[in-house]
Structure 1
Amino acid sequence: MMQESLVEYGSRRVIITITAILCALLEIVDTTIVNVALNDMRGNLGATLTEVGWVITAYAIGNVIIVPMTSWLSQQFGRRNYFAASVIIFTVCSFLCGNADNIWELVLFRFLQGIGGGALLVTSQTIITESYPIEKRGMAQAIYGLGVIIGPTLGPPLGGYIVENYSWPYIFYINIPIGVVATLLTLQFVRSPKYAAKKAFNEIDWLGIGLLAITVGSLQYVLERGHEDDWFESSTIVFLITASVLGLFFFIWRELRYKNPIVELRVLKNGNLRIGTVMSFILGFGLYGSTFIIPLYTQSVLGWTAYQAGALMIPAAVMTAVMMPMIGKLLTKGIKPQYLVAAGMLVFFVYSFWGFKIITPDTGKDDFFWMLIARGVGLGLLFIPITALSLSSLKGQEIGQGAAFTGMMRQLGGSFGVAVITTVLSRQNMLHRNDLVAKLNVNSSDVQQRVIALQQGFIAKGTPPNIALSDAHKVLDFGITKQAAVLSYMDIFLYLGIMFLICLPIVLFVKQSKSVEKVDLSSAH
């Protein structure tokens, strides 16, 4: 069979696995490493906060446009050539990003870097899956999962360290040596499957490519920028939501009718892939949502540095790394993936509820440790079983197509997660602030005593009485703002936990398609 001819053994398989993980890490670390350097970029390039936000948005749009097309592009150019070209595009654009003279130059190179990076994630997953025999697929996904889960966690501390000790262009320059090594290893060791004949230029689904770019590009823009532009108050957002909905409708119609579709939607007839695609979306929501919210809380409320906030996440990433091979072994022994996914969702609920309980205006570093270890365990239990379930009953070319769907949905889930969290955080913050202000009775003796005590403190430092009173009121207002922010973060943790708890019974009632039962049996021996 086609996929068996691609199975590798011994040192060759080790080298291919390392190459694929290096490329996956390159791509994923770059999605989060930039977050902590935005302030420095803004100052250095003379950009506004909105303009510098495009550094993240452009990369995400490039990423999400190319991911569904990776399987088709691999067939068109040969997987090894396409993979190597993607690494080269990513590496060259990393150099150009570091050398950018103005913000829009940087945004353009980030978009192109995202187009190169999108292929790295999905194609590396396909390469690893096909390099291992079927009975070891669970272990293959565990190895790949290490890069995917640890990548977003490594970004902030690494970015924080580089920005504090060097300058922001170095967050791009560190990709260059890794990219050069990955290119050489790819050209030397990665093999391409024997695909059907390439499509002639006039047979290529150009309309499909255009509709796909409009659909996912518009959707990604809406998710990334909607909150800042106040959603439906912005005519641009309304226009792009309309474009995305219509684009999706015509894209599906086109792909199901055209004989050489750019994205093979028929692969979604596979029941396990459909389930896995939905679960990948939920996983992306939880993974990127929690990776976004904890550094945000520790930096904005607790006043930590970017490096401190990023370093807090490392023990959880190590825990996930320890979990991965264990989960891979459980799958190899024939334990059903949905049981492990359900366990992961339960643990993720525990983590979220724990966060809801411990968050205060001055939570200490040690309070986070076991809560984040629970997050690491939960993500370990979710990632590999979801991927294994999605790809378990696919063969040959379908593996790449399935990996593209789950990769895109994980990415979109992350974007949805960050967009929803940002919006809810802002709304809840306003509600809690209004509520706290309404309950603050200025005639209360406690409030008056507090204001007098603060005023006396400022007067003791030499501040004139009238200014001291104004400063006392500012301190009180700051306290209310901080308390409102903490209550908003508590809400987010609670809602995240409830979302995973609601999904738990749905996962348990999933009926696997008959085709996977065969795979489960074969993977049990």
Structure 2
Amino acid sequence: MQQQSLVEYGSRRVIITITAIVCALLEIVDTTIVNVALNDMRGNLGATMTEVGWVVTAYAIGNVIIVPMTSWLSQQFGRRNYFAFSIMLFTVFSFLCGNATSIWELVAFRFFQGCGGGALLVTSQTIITESYPPEKRSTAQAIYGLGVIVGPTLGPPLGGYIVDHNSWPYIFYINIPLGIIATLLTLAFVRSPKYGEKTAASDVDWLGIVLLAVSVGSLQYVLERGQDEDWFNDIWITTFAVTAVFGFFFFIWRELTYRNPIVELRVLKNGNLRIGTIMSFILGFGLYGSTYIIPLYTQATLGWTAQQSGMLMIPSSLTTAFMMPIIGQLLQRGVKQQYLVSLGMLLFFVYSLWGYKILTPDTSQDAFFWMLIVRGVGMGMLFIPITTLALSTLKGKQIGQGASFTGMMRQLGGSFGIASITTFMARRQELHRSDLVSQLNTNYQSVQNYITGLQHSFMAKGASFDVALKRAYAVLEGMIYKQASVLSYMDVFLYLGVMFLICIPFILFVRNEKGTKIDVSEAMH
């Protein structure tokens, strides 16, 4: 009943929708927009590549710490107030990021910007959903889905354009006018649902908050920095990994024994929610993993710009957004979530196998189009059904608690996916390079002819005999490196696809509780 009382109409609903979408986009775009500006930041602030990598890591850590607490914080301070404060926090620290004079200032400001951004995505989803009547919530999710799915692809091309035409601080400054407007509109138009009594300060689970921040923050650090720091050969990675393990152990113990836990873990007794959280993790693994690998391949191997790579992903994102209202209608008409999720995973396998087949050192742009459309359809069939499957047997306050788990697991799945893919590719590339080198015997006539031909071409351009020979071998080494890289990308596509294919039988065996039906809108927040 409370949800119905929050339904808006006319221009008021349009304003709330735009405000929520802008806030969601601010959060999503800022996770990827800095990637193309890291080199400029490094030069301007006198930082090393390792240090500048913390600009990405700090934001992710702030994000992932705050997401599980969003539901509780909304209840404590009221959703509108908490949402407005989060926008202001995000906006203020965007300004400070642009004015940072040292790399560690920027890293600290990015952490707090991430803390503000953590609430924007989850809360904006709830606000836009509750502003629409039940019969129009499929439309609401299509609008919201467009922002969520297109957002990550806007970051690199937008960041590339800003850096090319201005300087890196402007990637943060563009948040300021949007943040100010969104704050004012939130305070003027967004309403809060009525919650029960607030938790007294003496009853707040302060220890739980500390343990959650320490454990999740440590885990995110390990995932973000592991490959760059050579994993457990680095003392800090080992220390944070141990901290994460013990932090999660004591956090779980605390939440199961404290009378007012910050995160209600008992809701995980629900079988469908447990399956849903695992599937959300896998979804995040595939979604963020594939979003990460394609721009990396097109830029590093094919030589595309960040803008070209970002534009490549837009048709796929639009396809996913187009699919969302269709999937919502199918769910409301009684189609089982298991069937849609299974079909979505099968399509993701087809997309991955397709990618495995077409990748070469010079794949054309046209070759990606239909492959990415299949990805878009597959993702559209996974996003909403996995969430509805997870929450289908929960009631009342449990829905919000369960949604926080699926959201956090999707985020962690993405972090695990990127970390795993980065490590896997580095090791597979070295393995493929060794295999290719072992098959290139310089005694073979064909190899000798190729090297001689390269040598003569360099000599014709004025190089000496020895210099031309060295350049010929360098060209051959570059070709080997490039081919090894392509083979490692192919391996990633294949293994990602197989992972999704293996999950299908487990999804089909999940049982729905008879007589239980959930509104699609409830599943989305």
The alignment's TM-score, normalised by the length of structure 1, stands at 0.95
Q: Deviations over 1:289-308 (max 9, x none)?
A: 01110111111111111111
Q: Deviations over 1:305-349 (max 9, x none)?
A: 111122211121122222222222222322222221111111111
Q: Which stretch shows the higher mean deviation, 120-129 or 136-145? A: 136-145
State the partner residue of 1:372.
Answer: 372
Q: Secondary structure of the residue that 1:313 maps to in structure 2?
A: helix
Q: Secondary structure of the residue that 2:442 maps to in structure 1?
A: coil
> How many residue pairs end up in the alignment?
522
Q: Deviations over 1:401-430 (max 9, x none)?
A: 233211111110000000000000000001
Aligned ranges 1:173-212 → 2 under 5 Å: 173-212=173-212
Q: Residues of 2 paired with 1:267 and 1:9: CA distance?
A: 34
CA contact (8 A) 2:332 2:519 kept: no
Letter in 2 for 1:37: A
State the partner residue of 2:307.
Answer: 307
Q: Residues of 1 paired with 2:103 and 2:432: CA distance?
A: 36
Aligned ranges 1:150-165 → 2 under 5 Å: 150-165=150-165
State the partner residue of 1:480.
Answer: 480
State the partner residue of 2:30.
Answer: 30
- Whether 2:222 is the aligned partner of 1:225: answer no
Offset of residue 71 of structure 1:
0.8
Q: Residues of 1 paired with 2:382 and 2:129: CA distance?
A: 18
State the partner residue of 2:277.
Answer: 277
Q: Residues of 2 paired with 1:37 and 1:447: CA distance?
A: 41
Q: Deviations over 1:66-118 (max 9, x none)?
A: 00011111111111100000001011111111111111111111100000000
State the partner residue of 1:119.
Answer: 119
Segments of 5+ residues of structure 2 without an aligned counterpart are none
Q: Residues of 2 paired with 1:507 and 1:427: CA distance?
A: 31
Q: Secondary structure of the residue that 2:516 maps to in structure 1?
A: helix
Offset of residue 494 of structure 1:
0.4
Letter in 2 for 1:97: C
Q: Residues of 1 paired with 2:518 and 2:442: CA distance?
A: 71
CA contact (8 A) 1:160 1:310 kept: no
CA contact (8 A) 1:136 1:332 kept: no
Q: Residues of 2 paired with 1:134 and 1:374: CA distance?
A: 29
Offset of residue 129 of structure 1:
3.5
Letter in 2 for 1:476: L
Q: Residues of 2 paired with 1:394 and 1:15: CA distance?
A: 31
Q: Residues of 1 paired with 2:291 and 2:212: CA distance?
A: 28
CA contact (8 A) 1:139 1:329 kept: no
Q: Residues of 2 paired with 1:362 and 1:423: CA distance?
A: 24
Q: Deviations over 1:22-43 (max 9, x none)?
A: 2111111111111111111111
Offset of residue 128 of structure 1:
3.0
- Whether 2:271 is the aligned partner of 1:261: answer no
Letter in 2 for 1:430: E
State the partner residue of 1:434.
Answer: 434
Q: Secondary structure of the residue that 1:377 maps to in structure 2?
A: helix
State the partner residue of 1:216.
Answer: 216
Offset of residue 176 of structure 1:
1.4
Q: Residues of 2 paired with 1:111 and 1:519: CA distance?
A: 35
Offset of residue 488 of structure 1:
0.5
Q: Which stretch shows the higher mean deviation, 361-370 or 267-276? A: 267-276
Q: Residues of 1 paired with 2:30 and 2:304: CA distance?
A: 22
State the partner residue of 1:415.
Answer: 415
CA contact (8 A) 2:392 2:518 kept: no
State the partner residue of 1:297.
Answer: 297
Offset of residue 280 of structure 1:
1.3
Q: Secondary structure of the residue that 2:320 maps to in structure 1?
A: helix
State the partner residue of 1:39.
Answer: 39
Q: Residues of 2 paired with 1:111 and 1:170: CA distance?
A: 18
Give aligned-pair identity as a percent.
Answer: 73
State the partner residue of 1:83.
Answer: 83
CA gap 1:273/1:136 in 2 versus in 1, 3 angstroms: farther
Q: Which stretch shows the higher mean deviation, 119-128 or 429-438? A: 119-128
CA gap 1:143/1:397 in 2 versus in 1, 3 angstroms: farther
Q: Residues of 2 paired with 1:203 and 1:431: CA distance?
A: 55
CA contact (8 A) 1:91 1:175 kept: yes
CA contact (8 A) 1:3 1:396 kept: no
Offset of residue 131 of structure 1:
3.3
Q: Residues of 2 paired with 1:471 and 1:180: CA distance?
A: 56
Letter in 2 for 1:313: M
CA gap 1:414/1:346 in 2 versus in 1, 3 angstroms: same
State the partner residue of 1:246.
Answer: 246
Offset of residue 214 of structure 1:
1.1
Letter in 2 for 1:455: Q
CA contact (8 A) 1:141 1:388 kept: no
State the partner residue of 1:21.
Answer: 21
Q: Which stretch shows the higher mean deviation, 185-194 or 421-430? A: 185-194
Offset of residue 396 of structure 1:
4.4
Letter in 2 for 1:52: V
Segments of 5+ residues of structure 1 without an aligned counterpart are none
Q: Secondary structure of the residue that 2:101 maps to in structure 1?
A: coil
Q: Which stretch shows the higher mean deviation, 491-500 or 132-141? A: 132-141
CA gap 1:145/1:269 in 2 versus in 1, 3 angstroms: farther
State the partner residue of 2:357.
Answer: 357
CA gap 1:312/1:37 in 2 versus in 1, 3 angstroms: same
Letter in 2 for 1:186: T
Q: Residues of 2 paired with 1:346 and 1:165: CA distance?
A: 42
CA contact (8 A) 1:143 1:324 kept: no
Q: Residues of 1 paired with 2:433 and 2:274: CA distance?
A: 42
Q: Residues of 2 paired with 1:292 and 1:473: CA distance?
A: 32
Q: Secondary structure of the residue that 2:219 maps to in structure 1?
A: helix
Q: Residues of 1 paired with 2:358 and 2:210: CA distance?
A: 48
Letter in 2 for 1:85: F
Letter in 1 for 2:389: L
Q: Residues of 1 paired with 2:139 and 2:340: CA distance?
A: 15
Q: Residues of 1 paired with 2:186 and 2:273: CA distance?
A: 28
Q: Which stretch shows the higher mean deviation, 94-103 or 49-58? A: 94-103
Q: Residues of 2 paired with 1:130 and 1:305: CA distance?
A: 40
Q: Secondary structure of the residue that 1:252 maps to in structure 2?
A: helix
Letter in 2 for 1:303: G
Offset of residue 392 of structure 1:
4.2
Offset of residue 44 of structure 1:
1.6
- Whether 2:453 is the aligned partner of 1:453: answer yes
CA contact (8 A) 2:31 2:152 kept: yes
CA contact (8 A) 1:36 1:156 kept: yes
Offset of residue 515 of structure 1:
6.2
Q: Residues of 2 paired with 1:372 and 1:385: CA distance?
A: 20
Offset of residue 229 of structure 1:
1.3
